[in-house]
Amino acid sequence: MNHIQLNQQKVSTIVLGLMRIADQTADETKALLDAALAEGINMIDLADIYGDGRCEENIGKLFAACPGLRDQFFVQSKCGINIKGTAFDGSRFTYFDFSKEHILASVDDILRRLHTDHIDSLLLHRPDVLMEPDEIAEAFALLHRQGKVGCFGVSNQNPTQMEMLRKSVGFPLTANQLQLSCAFTPMIDAGLNVNMENRASIVHEGGVWEYCRLHDIAIQAWSVLQHGYFQGVFLNSEKYPRLNDTLIAMAGRKSGEYGHKVSPTAVAMAWILRLPHRMQAVIGTTRPSRLHEAAVGADIVLTRQEWYEIYTAAGNRLP
């Protein structure tokens, strides 16, 4: 397993995302965590809203029941999406909330659910247009002083939003968590299509990929096996015949090269981690066997040609 540094801690490039464990039994979740550790995966990713808090509660019960388990992981969670609003007609209303009050209350709730006194990283989940960077800075400073949060980052933010935060916040932003997979690449398409008139040349996120590289902000790819916005898994999908043929062929070739089984899932992870930056792939499987397949990908290095072959097999054209 390869590693990068986050806040001076060595964390695995494959991260176990725990968004989909709300309905798991304790034994199933424990098996998943054990499988992660066995693969050298020492970082987990959560958010206060996953399963309305049940995902964190499941992990918290295990942390409480298994002494030492908490400290084997670099624990990251997110806040900033407020799902507890009530609309004028009494219906439930979700909105984005980076207020100091919401951030502080969210972290206390996260710590309570996780049965821990600190998390290693906190990300702001989705940009709040009404954000006041000075207020966020106050919240971060207090959480750090209290020892509740080790480091801070963002998710789904563009460079200008990060610049606004960095002006006020006295800590480096350690990571930006962004959607990226072989079949979802808006953040790199524009950089390959500079000064073109095609759709791929549209700069969707203000050059976030280049910005994070320039400012040494780790990129954590989410939905690493999905296409579109939660439209499903591209592996074995009829919508991506050439991509699947390419991944299968490359998995076979890499199996021969490395002398052990390399699956298409592993190649899809290797494709993300081949990007020359401090990259992490957050995989959301609930199955230990798939976690193993993904972990294999952390140690597979794709050639430049292989990387571009996968990119174009997903339907992208090079200018």
Ligand X SMILES: NC(=O)c1ccc[n+]([C@@H]2O[C@H](COP(=O)([O-])OP(=O)(O)OC[C@H]3O[C@@H](n4cnc5c(N)ncnc54)[C@H](OP(=O)(O)O)[C@@H]3O)[C@@H](O)[C@H]2O)c1
First to last CA, the chain: 35
Q: Which residue, 23, 33, 20, is CA-closest to 62?
A: 33
Which letter, b or e, does each residue of 69-108 get, where b requires 16 or more Cβ atoms within 10 Å of its Cβ? Answer: bbeebbbbbbbbbbeeeeeeeeeeeeebbbbbebbbebbe
DSSP state of 33: H
Contact stretch for ligand X (CB under 6 A) within 61-69, 105-113, 164-172, 222-230: 222-230
Q: How far is CA 289 from CA 25, 38, 60, in A?
A: 17, 12, 23
The nearer residue to ligand X, 118 or 290, going by C-beta atoms, is: 290
The nearer residue to ligand X, 119 or 235, going by C-beta atoms, is: 235
Of 66, 69, 203, 233, the one binding ligand X by CB under 6 A? 233
Q: CB under 8 Å to 68, separation ≥6 — which residues?
A: none
Q: Please report, as residue ranges, which positions from 36 to 75 form the binding site for ligand X (by CB under 6 A).
A: 45
Of 169, 273, 283, 300, the one binding ligand X by CB under 6 A? 283
Q: How far is CA 50 from CA 45, 83, 140, in A?
A: 10, 10, 22
The nearer residue to ligand X, 242 or 287, going by C-beta atoms, is: 287
Shortest Å, Cβ 100 to ligand X: 21
Does 282 participate in binding ligand X (rule CB under 6 A)? Answer: yes
Half-sphere exposure of residue 289: CA atoms within 13 angstroms, side-chain side: 2
Shortest Å, Cβ 286 to ligand X: 3
The nearer residue to ligand X, 28 or 163, going by C-beta atoms, is: 28
> CB nearest ligand X: which residue?
284
Of 12, 13, 116, 155, the one binding ligand X by CB under 6 A? 155
- Residues that contact ligand X, how many (by CB under 6 A): 23
Shortest Å, Cβ 156 to ligand X: 5
Does 285 participate in binding ligand X (rule CB under 6 A)? Answer: yes
Of 58, 156, 185, 280, the one binding ligand X by CB under 6 A? 156
Contact stretch for ligand X (CB under 6 A) within 112-120, 141-149, 188-196, 286-294: 286-294
CB atoms inside a 10 Å sphere around CB 64: 13
